[in-house]
Amino acid sequence: ISPLSLSLSTDLVPGDVIVIPSNGTVMPCDAVLICGTCIVNESMLTGESVPVTKTDLPNPQRDKKGGDGDEIYSTEEHKRHTLFCGTNVIQTRYYTGEMVKAVVVRTGFSTAKGQLIRSILYPKPTDFKLYRDAYLFLLCLVAVASVVFVYSLETVKEIIVKSLDIITITVPPALPAAMTAGIVYAQRRLKKVGIFSISPQRINICGQLNLVCFDKTGTLTEDGLDMWGIQRAEDGRFHHSEEKADDKSLVTTKFVSCMATCHSLTKIEGQLSGDPLDLKMFEATGWILVEATEEETAHHDRIELTYVKPPNQLLPPPELSELYELSASYMIGIVRQFSFSSALQRMSVVVRQIGERRMDAYLKGAPEVVASLCKKETVPEDFAEVLEDYTKQGFRVIALAHRRLESKLTFHKVQNTNRDQIEKNMDFLGLIIMQNKLKTETPGVLEDLRRANIRTVMVTGDNMLTAISVARDCGMIQPQDRVIIADALPPKDGQAAKITWHYADKPSQCTIYWPDPVTVALWELMFWYHFAMSGKSFAVITEHFQDLLQKLVLRGTVFARMAPDQKTQLVETLESVDYFVGMCGDGANDCGALKRAHAGISLSELEASVASPFTSTTPSITCVPNLIREGRAALITSFCVFKFMALYSIIQCLSVALLYSVSSPVIH
């Protein structure tokens, strides 16, 4: 075991056990935590400056016969337990005096940071038609000149010697420098408006962009979310009116307890820090988060290092002597946290009320996912209608759930329990409604792109109807246009995969028969239509309806609940149908798509911007028309320069050939 603060990456090999310093460090390798927890800033990799909590790797699952499971460590599956190279460990936490330890799994260019650096040093080759045609033209010119020279010379020696001059005559040495002149000036102008590039050759490609994909949150809309209200559910029914989370009458409810505990917030230098959504949700409760030291937990015989409690002003007015006891009875300690997963679209925590032995589980996530994990009798019958009503108004909706755990589950058993065993048979608690406003410049930029016949597409991890509502508000979908949702279902119970089609205005009432040719022809005549689909439908269509996928992306405008790798797949599919694709995102979960697109534009100034060819210091999509404008100017300049240099080469080549032919006895 070596202290990490004294270790360099050259001193480490996979399998080494290292100690993470309590005062934090920058990771020189990829390592998996085996003891303790860490708070890490992963902005270098993800573009997200929000601190992330890393927990120790759980014990392998045991099989049904009681033997050790054969689960193999995977970076993607166990990323919540992995400390990645280049990320900054802000602080560590430990239990019962043990050091925070990790096992080295990768070093050098094999790490996540190493792969990122490799992609920068050796970027994906730009298959640009202008350069391809230029090389082909010069090759043909050399071939024609060679034929002329062969017929104009007498001996083989002369043919060989003189033919070597063809390269310098037909291929001008100044051509590469002349071709980059437009790019250099465009790069200077882009720098003045706050757009920087690590791949200047892509500026020319920006002049050919005819489709731009946009992330929603933080790109088209504001970064922050405002708490609009809550909609609680009791006995399988919603309350008739919205409420506020800091209402004194709700302080003892499971709903508020879930809001106060089901998050990934932490205190750094006395300030609450974490995901903006979690921060808004917790602040709405008015509760207080306390992080105890190990000595304090040992003194009070507690196992929780983090607990929350309501302030005294939210509690019922007791006698002064009973105030402390009443406050302590509402203290809830966080025993274990299952961090948010974009693939699972949920997070959960296991908590224990101070003074009790039995534990509770709270769940938070996408409403459809949470409802599927709850008992059917606890989910209101009008759940779909209420959710649809809020999402169509553009609100971001999050669902909460609760479950009372079995008394046999102790602290140590919970630490070794799979999250799937915790996140089941939940009781539905209700909905949190949050508002995400459009950025002021978004509608104007999208209108400019529409007038320029540049297609725009939204790719987001948010709810489908919320995304469609935002697309209509910002002008990506015109008021008179119709939106058709493609809902694909995988094979089940011997039945083949299928797709159902319905209008977004009435998703549960109107089913469309597709792809009937007559219906398609009527749609074409009656109105312009857009397709919308979720990440799950996209995955099913990609696997089972490959022949239909390219047709769908030609009219697909809204892609919701998309995982990071699905965003990359969408960009690749759009490129396969001969689109020149631009991707604009804030850097979080967009790195793959930003690297894969012809022109990726990151709105993040953090280190994650190196994953994108272009980075804008202004966090708005006004950079997109500026980049396309400069790209077109550079492209026209390159065309004109090549025409001039090619004509110069042709004149020079013909002149030399003519001079040789005058004195050639073969021709005479």
Bridge partner list, 395:
435
Distance CA 590, CA 625 (A): 20
Distance CA 245, CA 376 (A): 25
Can the peptide bond before residue 515 be classed as cis, meaning omega within 30 degrees of 0?
yes
CA angle 313, 317, 321 (to 5 degrees): 105
CA angle 92, 98, 104 (to 5 degrees): 65
Place of tokens 């205005």: 505
Distance CA 556, CA 533 (A): 8
Burial level of 314, CB count in 10 A (0-12/13-18/19+)?
buried
DSSP for 368-411, written as a single string: HHHHHTB-GGGS-TTHHHHHHHHHHTTEEEEEEEEEEPPTT--H
3-state DSSP helix/strand/coil % of the chain, to nearest 5: 40, 25, 35
Q: For 462, which DSSP code?
A: S
User: 16, 215, 462, 586: which is the annotated catalytic residue?
Assistant: 215
The tokens describing 477, both together, are: 């979908």
Burial level of 393, CB count in 10 A (0-12/13-18/19+)?
middle
Q: For 56, which DSSP code?
A: P
E strand map for 405-540? 427-435, 455-459, 482-489, 498-503, 511-512, 529-534
DSSP for 235-258, written as a single string: TTEE-SS-B-TT-GGGTTSHHHHH
Three-class DSSP category at 89: strand
Distance CA 271, CA 259 (A): 19
For this structure, is 215 an active site residue? yes
Three-class DSSP category at 233: strand
Number of neighbouring beta carbons within 10 Å of residue 48: 19
* Exposure on the CB side of residue 665, measured as CA atoms within 13 A: 2
Distance CA 165, CA 345 (A): 65
Helix H or strand E segment including 522 = helix 517-526
Catalytic site positions: 215
